[in-house]
Structure 1
Amino acid sequence: MAATSLPITLEEFRTFHEIDRTLYSLLVNELQRDPTESMQTLALWIWLERTGSNNVIVKILSLPNNLINELANEAATCLKCIEDNRFLLLANTSEIPLTRKLIAKEFSLFFLNKNRDSATSGIRNIITDVCLKALSDIMEKALNRRCSNQTLMESEMSMVSSLDESYLIGRFSQLELGGGMSPRRMMGHDDPRVDRTMFVTFSKGYPIAEWEIREFITTTFGECIECILMQEVKKPQEQALYALIVFVTPGIVECILNDKDKAKFTINRKHMWMRKFVPNS
Structure 2
Amino acid sequence: MTVPASSSFIMSQEQFNLFHKIDRELYNLLAVNLWRDPVESLQVMALWLWLERVGFRNVVKKILSLPYMLINELADEAVTCLYIINNGQFPPLPSDQGNNNDIPLMQSLMMETDLSLQFFNEYRLIATQGLARIVNEVCIRALTDVMQLAIERNAAQSLADSQKVMSASYNSFPQPAMVQTGGLTRMGFGPSSADSGITWSTQESHVPVPVPPDDRTMFVTFSKGYPVYEWEVREFFGRAYGDCIESLHMQEVQPNQQSLFARIVFHSVSSIEMILNGMSKVKFTINGKHVWARKFVPKRLKPPSPPAVQPVLNLPASLGF
TM-score, with normalisation over the residues of structure 1? 0.58
Structure scoring higher RCO (CA < 8 A, sep ≥ 6) equals 2
CA spacing shift, 1:210–1:268, aligned 2, 3 Å: closer
Number of residues paired by the alignment? 181
Deviations 1:148-196 (A, max 9, x none): 0111111111112222366xxxxxxxxxxxxxxxx95689xxxxxxxxx
1:102 to 102, 109, 125: 109
Distance 1:129 1:55 in 2: 19
Q: Which one of 40, 50, 55 corresponds to residue 52 of structure 1?
A: 55
Partner of 1:120: 128
Partner of 2:23: 20
Instruction: Work out which of the residue numbers 154, 167, 188 in structure 2 matches 1:146.
Output: 154
Pairwise mapping of residues 125-140 of structure 1 onto structure 2 (< 5 A)?
125-140=133-148
- Give me the whole-angstrom Cα distance separating, in 2, the residues matched to 1:107 and 1:154: 42
Partners of 2:70 and 2:159 lie apart in 1 by 30
Question: 2:8 matched to 1:34?
Answer: no
Aligned residue in 2 for 1:61:
64
Q: 2:75 aligns with which of 58, 72, 80?
A: 72
Partner of 1:223: none
As a proportion of its length, which structure holds more helix?
1
| Structure 2 counterpart of 1:142, one-letter code | A
Cα distance in 2 between the residues matched to 1:19 and 1:46: 11
Give the letter for the 1:97 counterpart: P
- Is contact 1:47–1:123 with CA below 8 Å preserved after alignment? yes
Gaps of 5+ in 2: 1-5, 175-199, 205-211, 218-295, 301-321
1:111 correspondence with 2:87: no
Shift of 1:210: 7.0
Partner of 1:161: 169
Are the aligned partners of 1:88 and 1:113 in contact in 2 as well (CA < 8 Å)? no
The aligned residue for residue 89 of structure 2 is 86
- Aligned residue for 1:87, secondary structure, equals coil
Query: Kindly tell me: are residues 9 and 161 of structure 1, through their superposed partners in 2, closer, same or farther at Cα, counting changes over 3 Å?
Result: same
1:207-246 aligned within 5 A: none
> Once the 2 structures are TM-superposed, how far is the Cα of residue 136 of structure 1 from its aligned partner?
1.1
Amino acid in the other structure paired with 1:77: T
Q: Are the equivalent residues in 2 in contact too, given 1:43–1:123 (CA < 8 A)?
A: yes
Offset at residue 101 of structure 1 (A): 1.1
Contact 2:84 2:91 in 1 (8 A): yes
TM-score, normalised on structure 2?
A: 0.51
CA RMSD across the alignment: 3.2
Shift, 1:29, TM fit = 1.5
Are the equivalent residues in 1 in contact too, given 2:102–2:116 (CA < 8 A)? no
| Match 2:8 to one of 5, 10, 30 | 5
Aligned partners of 2:7, 2:299: CA distance in 1, in Å? 52
Provide the residue aligned with 2:264 in structure 1: none
Q: Kindly, what percent of the aligned residue pairs are identical?
A: 41
